Amino acid sequence: MFLILRASSRSRSRSYGKIISKLIATSSSCFYVPMVPMITKKETKSERTSDGVKRGTRLFSCFPMVPMITKKETKSERTSDGVKRGTRLFSSSYEIKDPTELDALVQESYKSAVVIDFYATWCGPCKTLTPRLIKTVKAQRNVILKTVDVDAFPSIAEALRVNSLPTVMMLWEGKFVEQFSGVINEDECERFMKRASELSNSKKDDDADGDEGSDIDIQSKLEVALQGLAEGSAATSATQRDALIAFVNSKQISPPSVRADCYAALCMIELQRTTHKNSKTKNVETLDASIENAEELVKAAEQILVDAKGKAGSVQFSAPTIAARARLKLRMRAEEHSLEFEDHDLVTSAYLQNPKNFQLNERAALSSVLIGDYETACRISLELLKAKSSDDKSKILAREIIVEVIDSINFGASVNLAERTRRRLASLLFA
């Protein structure tokens, strides 16, 4: 096998290159490697050969070469799999091309829910999530999906506080009502888009009266409401309030458990509305009236199940009904401590300074429930058993609060959190 090395520098290089290329083409044991032209002291880069060819110009075909990284394109401009940053990963019909389009989307959100996917071309997880969102949104004709390249519009991402990628936000009636970060599977994508679709459909039910309530697909609306309540999304659950009221006021025939769960959901929604309304108005009379309304709603749910059971054995209340009763008890405990929504930071700060203090611990747990942070409420309420107390009544109170917190989230997406907290409670009690 022969290896030919040749330096090409002047006008003869064109003819020599062609001749050598022909020779190599007829030989299977010969390889030709052209050398880069040298620049001598008398030659500058601006000089050309006698036949006008600029020095360094390739005069013949050679072996395939790896693309060079130029000054304008650094290594950081390509992703780990070699995709150049800025390469479009999907149809441009979903892409926001101008920041002014957001104004139009805000207006559209009063008619249909809008899902906005924040991504970057260099983001690996984005390449997985965005196609899933596109696939699932096609099944929901009343949901609008838009994508925003954070590298193209960093000001939008900064204004909306997008700190990680991918991030997906749901826009409804001019407000972001739900969001998540990271990759979710197709089933979760479908549920997310279904909740967005339910928001769009709820607009059609705003004017529904008792007769129109018979046409309501209450099962799906109840599912969306309970999902929002389990996840602590007050806006998502509140959008179903009118549809649930229309249903319970209608004469539509339905299983007692469904009607009871509707009352339970309305009770929990009323407690959420009470919390936010009171934080703004600080009207004690309004607060008392709202808590009374919540009490009547949960009683109605319980009575429906009692009547359905009749005299045949004990009544088994549904998880949402139990959760509604537990949340009402916790809300009343918070009222006894005069806790309000905006007090959370101060209450938490005081607890962190003295976590072994029973009363501070109790206030912090109730305050976390008040703002809908049930994961923190579970953790702090378990600490109540370790806090210093002067009598056995405090220990009994601690167990009651922990059980109420667990019951308040033992449905929907928060079932796993409730189960984890229950196991930790058992380990503390029987350690």
Residue 123 annotated among the catalytic residues of the structure: yes
| DSSP code per residue over 24-58 | HHT-SSEEEEEEPPP--SS--TT-B-TTSPBTT--
For 42, phi and psi rounded to 5 degrees?
A: -80, -15
Q: Give the integer Cα–Cα distance in Å for 72 and 81.
A: 19
User: For the chain, give me the number of helices (H) and strands (E)?
Assistant: 16, 6
Active-site residue (options: 126, 189, 262, 267): 126
Residue 146 one-letter amino acid: K
Residue 126 annotated among the catalytic residues of the structure: yes
Tokens of 381: 């309420």
At which residue do the structure tokens 């991504």 appear? Answer: 119
* Contact (Cβ atoms closer than 8 angstroms) between residue 365 and residue 331: no
Long-range contacts of 134-137 (CB under 8 A, 24+ apart): 134/90, 134/91, 134/94, 135/186, 135/189, 136/186, 136/189, 136/190, 136/192, 136/193, 137/193
**Sign of the dihedral defined by the CA atoms of residues 263, 268, 273, 278, in that order:** positive
Q: Give the integer Cα–Cα distance in Å for 431 and 419.
A: 18
Tokens of 28: 């299977």
Q: What is the dihedral of CA 189, 194, 200, 203, to 10 degrees?
A: -150
Whole-Å CA distances, 241 to 209, 235, 268, 386: 13, 10, 10, 40
Q: How many Cβ atoms sit within 10 Å of the Cβ of residue 145?
A: 21
If we measure between CA atoms, which residue out of 305, 234, 292, 307 comes closest to residue 265?
234
Beta strands in 70-133 (DSSP E): 113-119
Residue 369 one-letter amino acid: V
Q: Give the integer Cα–Cα distance in Å for 256 and 308.
A: 7
Active-site residue (options: 123, 189, 262, 378): 123
If we measure between CA atoms, which residue out of 299, 235, 319 comes closest to residue 272?
235
Active site residues: 123, 126
